[in-house]
Structure 1
Amino acid sequence: MSRVNDYLELVRAPAILTVFGDTLAGGSAAGHMLSGRRIALPLASACLYAGGMALNDYSDRGTDADERPERPIPSGRISARAALCAASTLTVAGLALSATGGGRRAFALAIPLATSIWTYDLLAKNYAVPGAITMGTCRALDVLMGAGFGHLRPALAAAGIMGGHTIAVTLLSRGEVEGTTTVIASSAAASTGLLAGAVVAGTLGTRSRTLAVLAAAATYAARCMPAQARAAREPVAGNALEATKAGIRAMVPLQAALTLRHGNVAAGVVIASIDLVGKILRSRPRGSRISES
């Protein structure tokens, strides 16, 4: 069982929950319901994300030996070769699941998504702005994979919102060890407010739908904006780390808001359930090594 826990830590298992809603948001925008083979698409996102996390640790194994010696690779619990094998296997699984769930139209977007993930982990993350843009592109492509090639236009807004949030979180995450800056943290907080407003402003339909979207958007802002504001006031490493974690967790209610604004209540309920599972995982005893950052 400890071996399983080591791999769960390698891929940052709790954080994987934050990608299930991407394809639901994209699919909702394109008018797709979560049924039949399309259930495989969130699983495709999860595999691609987990593969990226394993590849991230493989790429960072030298740095982690100094800064995070407790991580699976530098601690010797998982070899670098095994981590690379896990990353490759999960990526292939993600591509296969995308084809299963969405056919050629989803697979056509899974290919550039996987390419962007590997580009980020092996090259782009070494540069602040290009790295953040690449990571945002990964999240946007994940949303678009839910819509499928040929149905991209209605999902572009959702993809842009998720991508924009991801860019802000990625820039903040660069300060987890040595601290961030007031400008970066303030910009992240401002982007949270703007994105929440954009989600609500783009809602069409009944009063009940608008209220549901408003509630989800408010939850999104409340979950990450306070931590971002603290990092802006005091941009030390600890606050940057907490703001990053909050930004990752806030992706789930943001996805819920994006699905609800297109009237896909079933997908919204699924995402709410995922959020509950995430809270349960985060309530694990502090001795657990499995983390999301």
Structure 2
Amino acid sequence: MSSITIKSNKFQSTWAYLQLMRPANIVTAWADILLGYAVAGAVTVGISNLNFMTLGWLILATTGLYGGGVVFNDVCDAQLDAVERPERPIPSGEATLSGAIALGTLLLVMAIIAAAIVSQLSAILAIIVATCALTYDKWSKHQTILGPLNMGLCRGGNLLLGVSAIPSAVGNHWYLALIPIIYIAAITAIAQGEVQGGKKVTGMIAIALIAIVIGSILSLGLLPEYTLLITLPFLALFTALVLPSFIKASINPEPKLIQMAVKAGILSLIVLDATIATGFSNWIYGLLLLALLPLSRFLARLFAVT
């Protein structure tokens, strides 16, 4: 075998394992951490090397949590994907099952260690998120109600992981985790039909949950530390990106339209996080967070999102 062929095979293998990690989705998890960072008040307490180091460790932690969680999702679905999605890395043979298990384990362990460097509370939150992710992968994703709720808990916990940049802030802002819980529940609910098609009633429930999310953001204006007015352009962008695709998938729940709705919903997590973060910080920070969107969309062209 020539050296060129060996290098080509190594590249294909590396690419396959990167596909398992869903890089575009990981960027949206970074946005959760940046939102939590703003909610904790770390943006306004002053810039220091300690703040940047804390933020870096938390971003590394969420990279491991999300990457490890989705890798184990494909591990648990290996037999099903062999029938329904044979092009995926494991059933196609581009990645091995044992290799995927090793990668997923490494990522989750890395995540917990990185979180522990920040604080004991951060480590506990990372363990909770990892447990919720594995529970979803193995069992609850097949449950109509518990599946969306479980996945939402992963995202809500990830937001609180960002808030734990200042541990004392978690107790004061824990309720904000309900927003990503509801939003991810909407995406997960409509995603249940992305292979064989869905039901109109599921789409309507998802749209109702999106409406609750929008209403919840508007209600944050009641908080003395939240400035609603500067968030409205961000909220309008979020609504324009999400609602049309969800409505189309609800009216005509075909697999292709559902997959488009799921993709739009996942990538719009960045816009959702930027919207909320703006109110807790300023519009400049919101724009910086929103700058993750082009990166996530670029990666979505290279790697699968769902």
State the TM-score, normalizing by the size of structure 2. Answer: 0.87
Larger Rg over CA atoms: 2
2:130 pairs with 1:114? yes
Letter in 2 for 1:16: I
What is the aligned partner in structure 2 of residue 125 from structure 1? 141
Unaligned runs of 5+ in 1: none
What is the aligned partner in structure 2 of residue 146 from structure 1? 162
User: Is the 8 Å Cα contact of residues 34 and 162 (structure 2) preserved in structure 1?
Assistant: yes
User: Is the 8 Å Cα contact of residues 30 and 147 (structure 1) preserved in structure 2?
Assistant: yes
User: Is the 8 Å Cα contact of residues 225 and 280 (structure 2) preserved in structure 1?
Assistant: no
2:278 pairs with 1:260? yes
Q: What does the per-residue CA deviation read over 1:65-86, in whole Å, with 9 as the maximum and x for residues that have no partner?
A: 0000000000001110100111
Q: Which runs of 4+ in 1 moved over 4 A?
A: 204-207, 264-267
| Offset at residue 219 of structure 1 (A) | 1.4
Letter in 2 for 1:92: V
What is the aligned partner in structure 2 of residue 31 from structure 1? 41
1:66-215 pair list within 5 angstroms = 66-100=83-117, 102-148=118-164, 149-203=167-221, 209-215=227-233
2:21 pairs with 1:11? yes
Separation in structure 2 between the aligned mates of residue 36 and residue 46 of structure 1, nearest angstrom: 15
Separation in structure 2 between the aligned mates of residue 164 and residue 27 of structure 1, nearest angstrom: 20
Separation in structure 2 between the aligned mates of residue 114 and residue 65 of structure 1, nearest angstrom: 26
Q: What does the per-residue CA deviation read over 1:196-245, in whole Å, with 9 as the maximum and x for residues that have no partner?
A: 232133135799x5343111111111111101100111112221111111
User: Is the 8 Å Cα contact of residues 23 and 299 (structure 2) preserved in structure 1?
Assistant: no
What is the aligned partner in structure 2 of residue 291 from structure 1? 304
Separation in structure 2 between the aligned mates of residue 76 and residue 60 of structure 1, nearest angstrom: 14
1:62 counterpart (76, 79, 82): 79
Q: What does the per-residue CA deviation read over 1:13-45, in whole Å, with 9 as the maximum and x for residues that have no partner?
A: 111111111122223222223533222212211
2:61 pairs with 1:44? yes
Separation in structure 2 between the aligned mates of residue 198 and residue 47 of structure 1, nearest angstrom: 29
User: Is the 8 Å Cα contact of residues 69 and 134 (structure 2) preserved in structure 1?
Assistant: yes
Q: How many residues align?
A: 286
SS in structure 1 at match of 2:280: coil
Separation in structure 2 between the aligned mates of residue 158 and residue 206 of structure 1, nearest angstrom: 13
User: Is the 8 Å Cα contact of residues 230 and 283 (structure 2) preserved in structure 1?
Assistant: no
Letter in 2 for 1:238: K
Separation in structure 2 between the aligned mates of residue 264 and residue 144 of structure 1, nearest angstrom: 20
SS in structure 1 at match of 2:196: coil
Q: Aligned-residue CA RMSD in angstroms? A: 1.9
Q: What does the per-residue CA deviation read over 1:153-186, in whole Å, with 9 as the maximum and x for residues that have no partner?
A: 3332321101110011011111001111111112
Separation in structure 2 between the aligned mates of residue 206 and residue 31 of structure 1, nearest angstrom: 10
Unaligned runs of 5+ in 2: 1-10, 44-50
Q: How has the CA–CA distance of structure 1 residues 206 and 139 changed in structure 2, closer, same or farther, with 3 Å as cutoff?
A: closer
Separation in structure 1 between the aligned mates of residue 63 and residue 237 of structure 2, nearest angstrom: 23
2:12 pairs with 1:2? yes
